[in-house]
Amino acid sequence: MSASEASVPPPNEAPEVPEAPGQDAVAGPPRRAARAALLASVFVIATSGLIYELITGTLASYVLGDSVAQFSFVIGLYLFAMGIGSYLSQYLESKLLERFVEIELGVALVGGLSAPLLFKVYTASGAFRVLLYGLVLLIGMLVGLEIPLLIRLLKFSLDLKQLVARVLTLDYIGALVASLLFPSLLLPRLGIHQTGLFFGLLNAFVALGSTFLFPITRADRFRLRALCALTVLVLGAAFAMVTQFVERAEAIYFGAPVVHSAQSPYQRMVLTQSPRTTRLFLNGNLQFSSDDEYRYHEVLVHPAVAALGRDPRRVLILGGGDGLAARELLRYPSVEQVTLVDLDAVVTDAFRTLPIATRLNQGALTDRRVTVRNEDAYKFLEGCTESFDLAIVDFPDPGNYAVGKLYTDAFYQLLRERLGVRGVVVVQATSPQYARESFWTIVTTMEAAGFMTAPLHVYVPSFGEWGFVLAGGEGLAAPGGLRIEASTLRYLDSAGLPELFRFPRDIGRVAAPINRLNDQKLVAIYTREWSVWTR
Amino acid sequence: MDRRAFLSALGTGWLVQTAGEHPPRIAGQVVGASHAAGHLLRGGAPVVSSAVVRAVVQEKADVVIVGGGVSGLSAAWRLAPAGLDVAVLELEPRPGGTSTWGEEGAVPHPWGAHYLAAPNVEARAALRLLQEMGAVTGWDAAGRPVFDPRRLCHAPQERLFYDGEWHQGLVPTDALSIAERDEMARFLDIEEALTVRRGADGRPAFQIPLDMSSRDPDLLALDRLSMEAWLDREGFRTPFLRWYVRYAMLDDFGGAPEDVSAWAGLHYFAARKLRTPELEGSHFLVWPEGNGRLVKALIERARPRIMLGSLAMAVHDLPQGGVAVDYLDVARHEVRRIEARAAVLATPAFVTRRLFPAAAPMLPVRTSSPWLVANLHVEDRFEPNLPWDSILYEAEGLGYVDAAHQLTDLAATTVPASALRAPRRQTVLTYYRAFGGADTTAARSMLLGSAWEGLADGVLRDLAPAHPHLREVLGRMDLMLWGHAMPRPRPGFLGERPFETTCALGPRIAWAHVDQPGMALFEEAQARGVRAAELLAGDMGVVLGESWL
């Protein structure tokens, strides 16, 4: 058999000898409808092939991280596998239409189920990569088999020039459509599992349709339709179940489509976007909502600057990898240097590069005054010899012992050594409403470390009543007025400032222990208090 | 529903199971101790004749210390201010004795003793060292030490695998029966009463240093009982309490309660007197490399000449004054001699007897417990709530400690995601197993006669109830076989004349080892070394000033 079937023959080669009738199942040229159907299926195959590739690439970068490398591997492997498929197509010699339907069903099943399969294996760690690359290889090979097969099926109704032009055009257009639809519509709207299963179903229907349009022997037709029905049934059931699970877990959980998600060694980061609102979740906990984060970040930053009583120059931000506290801080022209220490490069990278994120933090993380250091804040303080006017501490809530270390007296003592005698620090301190004892434990612990404190709170609709601890050396007092023009802010003004420092009775001070490294009472208190509200 | 449950639920019903598992191969080896070389001592003369004997005096020093464990290095540390030339002969490739450590892999890790309970105010030498290291930052108004909070074992400290699940802490209160809880409470009451109790002579019933304990005959009578017999006598019968005490005895003495003196057993529970708010969470001082950090600190301060791979074979009292030590340079296989003005034998009693037979009648007879220590290099998902110490109820071994637990730098042990693997956390888990039965000789020959494969497999089997898939995250497992890890304080170990042990073996030869008190405590080892140094300094006419004890 000639090797030139799937490509334009070299000019010197002898014209192709038509294959003997009976070698292919098609006795004569397919009817017009069949030809249109074959061409349509080229389009569907091209589109769905690329969709599967994008799904596996996306899952690989979710699970394994390093999206550039993952996409690069998946695309390379997929194209290579298509090459293998194309090569192997020469060995398919008889009953091409039947083979085509079977291959189509194979693509439908493997491609459609790839996302749920990979998710399943994700929990059983080791096998993930094996399955990932195995699936990419398999899908690539099946798709690679199909296109040459289609060309051979169509070669009797079109001349080679037209045939190659149409098939390749549709193939490339399909790829374009897939690559545009996937990130913009399919992934955010339909979800990764449903997208795969939807295209799997589409492949299955193409296969089913083919059994009606193509001249296939009765016995084969019955067998193939049964196979099609089975495939549709499996994919349909999966679709129904997956939708149910994903709707419950993701859409309901996050409340909006997920536009970016990444797994770091420490946490899973998810950004969601609804028409109006951007939200950041770390390990499923809401970190901010663009609707009202300004309340949180204005109260975190501006009263502290006011309490400083002078122009801030050198500022330390611990945590705060979203750059929103930095954004508030950079409103002060006196600020010369901001050192932002956040453990998780996955978060700071996202907030440095993603347009959806840099719109919110106004590019704070790329500001020339800001230095981002991806280090453990504890380790940073131990090794740090600089001193700062102001420190803004914006860690996740003390829900586990690894974060809890950053709320201990030992940590605050280290922090105090990094502030000049007149330095000021402000610490996000969870909700005095939902976790009243936790909040006052943080206050007590900071006082045990030698700080004077001035606790404050604000209502943030997404979070409820939220608390902060402003602290400093001898003589620290709640500030009387802002050091910034209130008109540049959205929430705070000088008149409202005293109200932040007044604690109504239901969130007022309670006796609380000191949180120590060797006795992290705060983690237990916090977990107990929040469990009441999240049950 | 949490994420994991969600993902599993997603998988059930129609998805095929992952392909069959095949256990991954684990690397590892037995790294010590040097039994083969050590046991050459038993051969005596034949070894010397087969090695090249250098008749000429090879080396000189002011003081030669035989044994680079905590006792020997503490002697060197005490001598340091005098500016003497101190040589330490150590058989193993790293000093520290059973406080030695490893540096390979993601994080330094212990090969033996892995924590130091906050020393009593009376343990002055230990507190002095801690202050020099910065672990003690000052003293409170009551004269009690203030510790660097970073050194006290971080929360969470312990967990117990009991009845198929992990419980925080060593006592799974919620899972115990009422009888078990009542007995536990009664036991803690006795512990508390004994901690503050004083004998008829006004001394504390149990103290560290040991020789400051009361001589009250009523208390010393406890030494005639085994811990097991004491529990029976006091009516402690519930399985949990019996296990709890058994665990403590194995952990501290390497002996089962039936083979440990009740005096020693109760000393374990009632000798720690320091009570401050800062110590409420944990009074354990912990470093990634365990007590290896204390060894490093001693070496940094003393800066002795440590001669590794040196097996001392004989100690001679020279007629012209001074001492000579013959030792086998293991690498060159030649016997050399070092002469000094004085010598500290910081070696166990059974070794000291062979080195210096003249002193044999003065030395106590001790039983030493064999131990197996395994260091497991693992790489697993990051889990923010892992405790320092994980213990499996009724397992063969004593569980394991996590070397990375005490790090304040989360990033230090993180393996970032790469193209080919998910991000993970690396650490070293140190697993301990003491052979606590009465027949230590049989246990020792079993241990030393076993190959790595069998022992490593035993470790995995012992941990399997809690960690069935440990192999999948295990990169390598190295083993240390301690034939003589520590003296076991058997019933009667205090002897005829309690607390009066020999230090001077000859005019210029002193003995410093925990075999003297018969209990392997860091403070004891250190005090013995310091005392030997101060004694010899007096003999040599070297002025060391006020005693550090």
Q: What b-and-e string marks burial along A208-219, b requiring 16 or more CB atoms within 10 Å of the CB?
A: bbbbebbebeee
Instruction: State the pairing for strand pair A278-282/A285-289.
Output: antiparallel
The pLDDT value given to residue A274: 79
Q: Is a pLDDT exceeding 70 seen at residue B312?
A: yes
Cβ A375–B15 below 8 Å, yes or no? no
Q: How confident is the model at residue B169 (pLDDT cuts 50, 70, 90)?
A: very high
Q: How far is A228 from chain B (nearest CA, A)?
A: 18
d(CA A419, CA A451): 11
Cα–Cα distance for residue pair A435/A527, rounded to 1 Å:
9
The answer to whether the Cβ–Cβ distance between A379 and B411 falls below 8 Å is: yes
Under the banding of pLDDT at 50, 70 and 90, the label for residue A15 is very low
Please tell me if residue A119 touches chain B, with a CB cutoff of 8 Å.
yes
Sort out which chain A residues have CB atoms less than 8 A from B14's CB and list them.
Answer: 234, 237-238, 241
pLDDT-based confidence at B280, cuts 50/70/90? very high
Residues A263, B417: C-beta atoms closer than 8 Å: yes
Question: How far is the CA of B454 from the CAs of B448, B450, B482, in angstroms?
Answer: 12, 7, 16
CB contact under 8 A, A265 and B8: no
pLDDT band at residue B422, thresholds of 50, 70 and 90?
low
How large is the greatest C-alpha to C-alpha distance in chain B, in angstroms?
A: 90
Indicate whether B538 pLDDT > 70.
yes
Tell whether A526 lies on the interface with B, counting CB pairs under 8 A. no
Q: How many CB pairs under 8 A join A and B?
A: 149
Contact B3, B381 (CB under 8 A): no
pLDDT at A22: 39
d(CA B110, CA B101): 4
**Taking the alpha carbons of B405, B411, B412, B415 in that order, is the dihedral positive or negative?**
positive
> pLDDT tens, B56-87?
667 999 999 999 999 999 999 999 999 999 99
In terms of Cβ atoms closer than 10 Å to its own Cβ (0-12, 13-18, 19+), residue A21 is exposed
Taking the Cβ of residue A65 and every Cβ of chain B, the question of whether any pair is shorter than 8 Å is answered with yes
Q: Is A64 part of the contact surface with chain B (CB cutoff 8 Å)?
A: yes
10 Å CB burial of residue A22 (0-12, 13-18, 19+) is exposed
Query: How far is residue A379's CA from residue A390's CA, in Å, rounded to a whole number?
Result: 19
Q: Is A15 within 8 Å of chain B by CB? A: no
Question: What SS3 state is found at A323?
Answer: coil
DSSP codes joined into one string, A153-218: HHTTTS-HHHHHHHHHHHHHHHHHHHHHHIIIIIIIII-HHHHHHHHHHHHHHHHHHHHHHS---H
Contacts of B422 in chain A (CB under 8 A): 63-65, 125, 128, 263
What ranges in A354-435 are assigned the alpha helix state H? 355-361, 377-383, 401-404, 409-417
Angle in degrees, 0-180, between the axes of helices A67-88 and A32-64, rounded to the nearest 10: 150
Determine which one of A344, A394, A397, A409 is catalytic.
A394
Distance to chain A for B62, nearest Cα, Å: 40
Q: Give the nearest partner residue to A402 out of B280, B384, B423, using CB atoms.
A: B384
Q: Closest-CA residue in chain A for B154?
A: A518
> Which ipTM value was assigned to this complex?
0.86
| Region for A130 from its dihedrals, namely left if φ exceeds 0, alpha if ψ lies in -120 to 50, beta otherwise | alpha
Q: CB contact, 8 Å: A121 with chain B?
A: yes
Instruction: Read off the pLDDT band of A308 (50, 70, 90).
Output: very high
Q: Is the Cβ pair A65, B422 closer than 8 Å?
A: yes
Mean pLDDT of all residues in A316-322: 96
Chain A partners within 8 Å of B425 (Cβ): 265
The residue whose two tokens read 């060694």 is A265
CA distance B197 to B186: 16
Based on the residue annotation, tell me whether A519 is a catalytic residue of this protein: no
The residue type of A242 is: V
Identify any residues that bridge with B389 across adjacent strands, giving them in sequence order. Answer: B158, B401
> For residue A117, which of A128, A133, A104 has the smallest C-alpha distance?
A128
Least confident of A66-70, A95-99, A270-274, B509-513: A66-70
Instruction: Pick from B2, B7, B168, B471 the residue to mutate for testing the A interface (most A CBs within 10 Å).
Output: B7
Three-state DSSP at A364 gives helix
- Mean pLDDT value across residues B172-201: 96
Q: How many Å separate Cα A235 from the centre of its chain?
A: 25
The DSSP call for residue B421 is B
The one-character DSSP state at A341 is E
Question: Which residue in A69, A119, A375 is closest to B419 by CB distance?
Answer: A69
For residue A440, the distance in angstroms to the closest alpha carbon of chain B comes to: 19
| Shortest CA gap B484–chain A (Å) | 33
Query: Which of B433, B409, B431, B416 has its CA nearest to residue B379?
Result: B416
A65 to B417: CB separation less than 8 angstroms, yes or no: yes
pLDDT recorded at residue A31: 65
Least confident piece of the model among A149-163, A345-359, B454-468: A149-163
Exposure string of B419-444, with b = 16+ CB inside 10 Å and e = fewer, is eebbbbbbbbbbbbbbbbeeebeebb
Contacts A265 to B, Cβ<8 Å: 382, 414-417, 423-425
Residue of A nearest to B20 (CA): A127
- Highest mean pLDDT pick, A4-13, A120-129, A432-441, B406-415: A432-441
**pLDDT given at position A118:** 80
A84 touches chain B (CB under 8 A): no
* Mean pLDDT of the A354-360 span: 89
Instruction: Find out whether the peptide bond into A148 is cis, omega within 30 degrees of 0.
Output: no
Q: What value, to the nearest 5°, has the Cα angle with vertex A186 and ends A185 and A189?
A: 75
Q: What is the predicted pLDDT for the residue at B11?
A: 37
The one-character DSSP state at A483 is S
For residue A383, with 0-12 CB atoms within 10 Å meaning exposed, 13-18 middle and 19 or more buried, which class applies?
exposed
Are the C-beta atoms of residues A365 and A323 closer than 8 Å to each other? yes
Q: What burial class does residue B305 get, using C-beta atoms within 10 Å of its C-beta: 0-12 exposed, 13-18 middle, 19+ buried? A: middle
Q: Are B487 and B97 in contact (CB under 8 A)?
A: no
For residues A271 and B51, is the Cβ–Cβ distance under 8 A? Answer: no
Which chain A residue lies closest to B416 (C-alpha atoms)?
A: A265
- pLDDT at res. A167: 86
Summarize pLDDT for A19-36 with one digit per residue, the tens. 433 344 444 445 677 778
With beta carbons less than 8 A apart as the criterion, state whether B273 and B212 touch.
no
The neighbouring-strand residues paired with B109 are B102
| Interacting residues of B178 by C-beta distance below 8 A, sequence separation 6+ | none
Chain B residues near residue A410 by CB distance under 8 angstroms: 148-150
How many residues does this entry show for chain A?
535
A14-28, A245-259, B311-325 — which is least confidently predicted?
A14-28
Distance of residue B159 Cα from the nearest chain A Cα, in angstroms: 14
Start-end of H helices in A23-95: 32-64, 67-88
Query: Is the model's pLDDT at B381 over the cut of 50?
Result: yes
Phi then psi dihedrals of residue B541, to 5 deg: 75, 20
Task: Give dist(CA B549, CA A109) in Å, integer.
Answer: 78
Percent helix, strand and coil across chain A, each to the nearest 5: 60, 15, 30
Inter-residue contact B298 to B74 (CB < 8 Å): yes
Given a contact cutoff of 8 angstroms between Cβ atoms, the answer to whether B61 and B338 are in contact is: yes
What DSSP element (H or E) covers B41? helix B40-43
Residue of A nearest to B415 (CA): A265
Token pair for B473: 């995250």
Q: Sign (positive/negative) of CA torsion A134, A135, A136, A141?
A: positive
Taking CA–CA distances from A67, the nearest residue in chain B reads B419
Question: Cα dist. B340→A271, A481, B329, B356, B539 in Å?
Answer: 72, 76, 18, 16, 13
Helix/strand/coil for B392: strand
Contact at CB, B152 and A518, closer than 8 angstroms: yes
pLDDT reported for residue A239: 86
Cα–Cα separations (whole angstroms), residue B162 to A57, A263, B167: 42, 33, 7
For residue A268, what pLDDT is reported?
79
Closest chain B residue by Cα to residue A126? B472
- Unique residue bearing structure tokens 């237990």: A524
User: Do A204 and A108 contact (CB within 8 A), yes or no?
Assistant: yes
The answer, yes or no, to whether residue A57 has pLDDT greater than 90, is no
A17 touches chain B (CB under 8 A): no
Q: What does the pLDDT average to over B150-176?
A: 95
